[in-house]
Amino acid sequence: MSQNGDEQEEAQLPPVLKASVHDVRYFAALLRGVNFVNRATVTIAKTGFVVVVEEARTLLGTAYIFADIFDEYTYNSESAAAPQNSQTSEPEEEEANSAFEIPLNTLIECLNIFGTAGSSGAGTGAATGKYKKWKRAGDDSDQEGDEDNGQGRRSSNGGARGIEHYFGNASDKATGMRMSYAGSGFPLTLLIAEDAAGPTTTCEITTYEAEPHLQLPFESDRIVLKIILKSSWLRDALSELDPSCDKLTFIGNPPPAAATNGKQRAANGTPMLRIQAAGTFGSTEMDYPNDRDVLESFECTRPVSFSYRFGHISRTLRALQSSTKTSLRIDDEGLLSLQFLMPSPKAKTEAATDAFIEFRCLALDDELV
């Protein structure tokens, strides 16, 4: 009974967010990358939305999900829809975003309700060349049929593009989704369906008022170490480590001036990049060779060594596993920024931006360790 009331209200105000996608796997994979704490802050803007998760006031996980991963994405600023809320003095950027908190795990479980949004282990984004042809056009047309709001529509060029899929899932079936958020105080509504003949699921996920979270600003002029490498190189190194480790240290040294692109490591034996892990049962050291094939770019201004809690670094593994490239940066106070490029299934055919997931982690205080 109360649902009818909600619907009427929705009809009056355009919803703050309306988005749809015919295959939720990529979206779900991005969310899963930061799914280490249940409560996530979602900030919606015109260009897409940002999901932020925080742990122990030390680790910040952020998934940047751009609007173009969706077939349709419409954002109506909440303050514009409600003029009595006079925030004209606020800077534009603040005004243009709506934020709420959401139980992230519940959202992911809902997306995966038919078991076709991919499991956590199925992320094989790095395994290139293994594309899956995926169900063709017509099947999502019935879902878009009742769409009258054309302004922000991204699917105008739909139909002709051959979308290939990265994730080598066992199932060929994909779950389509339509998402809407009517504004502060309203639930996030998801309409999920596998195909026209099958069942449809409606989920209403309660949203909470966003609370301010940890801010870890990363300034580019304070960077002391900056590396770009293939994710698989980092993934292999980190997955090699015993889970009982408690401390992980990144050691970087400026490359020897003479042999910047040389394949040989400098004779004096100081490694350019070393990952060192220490735990109760011993320690592990891994050196990366100075090789363009391994380290695509390497900038280091002075010798650095910062340690992090292994438990925090291992939180990044899920995102790392489905990413292709990693950017690792450390600033002069040891703040670590790991950015993982998440290959978009559309990127091959369209000028779509790949989404990425960023983790920022504070270094352990050396004197306390």
The footprint of another protein (CB under 8 A) covers 103, 106, 109-110, 112-115, 187, 197-206
Closest distance of CB 116 from another protein, Å: 9
- From CA 176, how far away is CA 174, in angstroms rounded? 6
Residues with Cβ < 8 Å from 139, sequence gap 6 or more?
22, 176, 195, 196
3-state class (DSSP) for residue 15: coil
Nearer to another protein, 115 or 162 (CB): 115
CA separation, residue 287 to residues 25, 49, 190, 252, 313 (Å): 35, 37, 46, 10, 18
Do residues 318 and 120 touch, judged by C-beta distance below 8 A?
Answer: yes
Residues with Cβ < 8 Å from 8, sequence gap 6 or more?
none
Tokens standing for 104?
A: 């992230």
Dihedral, 275, 30, 220, 291 alpha carbons, nearest 10:
40
Nearer to another protein, 195 or 287 (CB): 195
Closest distance of CB 191 from another protein, Å: 10
Instruction: Give me the amino acid identity at 123.
Output: G
- Which has the closest alpha carbon to 176: 105, 107, 116? 116
- From CA 285, how far away is CA 279, in angstroms rounded? 12
Closest distance of CB 332 from another protein, Å: 42
- From CA 251, how far away is CA 97, in angstroms rounded? 39
Helices (H), 231-316: 231-240, 310-313
Nearer to another protein, 95 or 139 (CB): 139
Nearer to another protein, 149 or 200 (CB): 200
CA separation, residue 175 to residues 190, 192, 260, 345 (Å): 12, 7, 48, 15
Closest distance of CB 1 from another protein, Å: 12
Nearer to another protein, 173 or 247 (CB): 173
Instruction: Give me the amino acid identity at 236.
Output: D
Nearer to another protein, 97 or 116 (CB): 116
Nearer to another protein, 203 or 216 (CB): 203
Do residues 93 and 66 touch, judged by C-beta distance below 8 A?
Answer: no
Closest distance of CB 72 from another protein, Å: 22
Closest distance of CB 100 from another protein, Å: 13
Closest distance of CB 325 from another protein, Å: 32
Nearer to another protein, 112 or 339 (CB): 112
The rounded Cα 289 to chain-centroid distance in angstroms is 29
Closest distance of CB 111 from another protein, Å: 10
